[in-house]
Structure 1
Amino acid sequence: MESNSKIVALVGLPGSGKSTVGRHLSKRWGIPFIDSDHEIEARTGGPVRDFFAAHGEAAFRDLEQAVIAQLCADNGQARILATGGGAVLREANRQVLHQHCHVFYLKASPEELYQRLRNDKTRPLLQVDDPALRLRELFEARDALYAEIAHYVIDSARLSSHQLLHRVAMQAEMAGIVPARAQP
C-alpha cells in the first residue's frame, strides 16, 4: 500500500454495512464517500442489475474493474470507497485495493447477514429460493479473498450500525489513517 494513501476502502458481503458505514464516516471525517456500484449506475444510466442482465457478468466485471481502478488512483484526495461484494473476485481489483487503499473487511457470518437481509427485495443475488444458503455460498467463496486484501478485519456480527461505525473509525484514527476526531 502507498504509505501516504488517503483512501479507505470497505469490503464485505452484501448487508455487512459498507454503504451505511461509508456514509457515516464521510460525515464524521468530512471527506467524500463513493459507492462503486452507484458510480457504475451513474456511468451506465441504470441499475447494476439491469446492466448485469443485459450484458452478462463478464461485461459487468470488466466495467467494475475499470471503475475501481479509477476510484483507487491516487489523486491526493481523501475518500471512502465501498465496493460491490463481488469486486474481490477479480485479481486486478484485489491488487489495486490492497496496494492503494486502507482496506477494512466488514465481516459477518452468513447467518447474521440473513437476519439483516431476509426481507430485502432489492438485492438480486438474494432473490433465490434459499437466500440463507446463497449467503453461505457467497461467504465460502469470498471470505478468504476479503481477508487476503484487508489491512483491518472488523467483525460486524451483533453490532449496531453505530457500533460498527465506531469500531472502524477508532481503528482508522488509531492507525493514523485519518486524524482523530476532536472530542466535544
Structure 2
Amino acid sequence: MKHKNNNIVLIGFMGVGKGALAREIVRQNTSFYTLDTDDMIESYTNTKIKKIFATAGEDAFRALEQKTADWLANSVKNAVISTGGGFYKVNNLKEIGTVVYLKADFEWILNRILNAHNAKKKLKKRPLFQDPKKAKKLYDERLEGYEKAADIIMDVSSDEFSKIVEKILKATL
C-alpha cells in the first residue's frame, strides 16, 4: 500500500511506542528519515506541548497539529512520522502518507511506560498517565477513531519491535 509521498504515518495512543518504532524503521531502512509531530510543534512554537495546553488550550494545540499536517502533506516525502495521540483527527491525515495504527491494550501501554528504564521521565512527559482512570477513558474514546483513520492496523503487543517493523515495511512498500 504505497502512498504517493511514500510516508508512513504512525498513529496510536500515547506511550504505545510510535517514536521508538519510527526510529527502528529508519534504522532498518535508511531510505527513510523520521519526524515527530509533537517535536515539530514544540520547535515551531519554542514552547513545550504541556505549556501550550496550559496557556493556549487544546483548541490552539489542535490548530497547530493541523498546520503541521498541512505542511507534511505538501512538503514531506520518504519520512516515518510519529504523531501525538490526538493527531489522527487532522482533516488530511491520508494525504500525508500510509496511516499505520499501532494498537495495544491500555494495560500493555501503561505497563510499557511504568516499566521503562526512564519511567519517571516518560510519566512526566505524559501527565495524563498520572491519573490512569482518566487516561483509560481517553483511550476508550479514541479507539474507534484510530481504527477508522488507519490504512493498516498493527498489534504491537504481540511481537518484538524488529518483527513489527518488518511487517510495517512489507505492508507499506
TM over 0.5: yes
49 and 105 in structure 1: CA distance in 2 versus 1, 3 angstrom threshold:
same
Q: Say whether 1:142 aligns with 2:142.
A: yes
| Ranges of 4+ aligned residues in structure 1 off by more than 3 Å | none
- Root-mean-square deviation (CA, aligned residues, Å) is 2.0
Equivalents in 1 of 2:108, 2:167: separation in Å?
23
Equivalents in 2 of 1:137, 1:82: separation in Å?
22
Where does the alignment leave 5 or more consecutive residues of structure 1 unmatched? 179-184
Q: Report how many aligned residue pairs link the two structures.
A: 165
TM-score, L = length of structure 2: 0.85
The alignment partner of 1:15 has SS state of: coil
2:72 corresponds to which residue? 71
Equivalents in 1 of 2:41, 2:154: separation in Å?
26
Give the fraction of aligned pairs with identical amino acids, expressed as a percent.
Answer: 29
Q: Say whether 1:126 aligns with 2:98.
A: no
Where does the alignment leave 5 or more consecutive residues of structure 2 unmatched? none
Q: Is the 8 A contact 1:13 1:138 kept in 2?
A: no
Q: Say whether 1:172 aligns with 2:160.
A: no
Higher RCO (C-alpha under 8 Å, 6+ residues apart): 2
**CA shift at 1:46, angstroms?**
2.3
Equivalents in 2 of 1:169, 1:62: separation in Å?
34
Per-residue CA distance 1:132-175 (angstroms, 9 max, x = gap): x223212211111111111111111254xxx23422333422x3
1:115 corresponds to which residue? 111
TM-score, L = length of structure 1: 0.81
- Aligned residue among 91, 98, 116 for 2:94: 98
**CA shift at 1:47, angstroms?**
1.1
The alignment partner of 1:121 has SS state of: helix
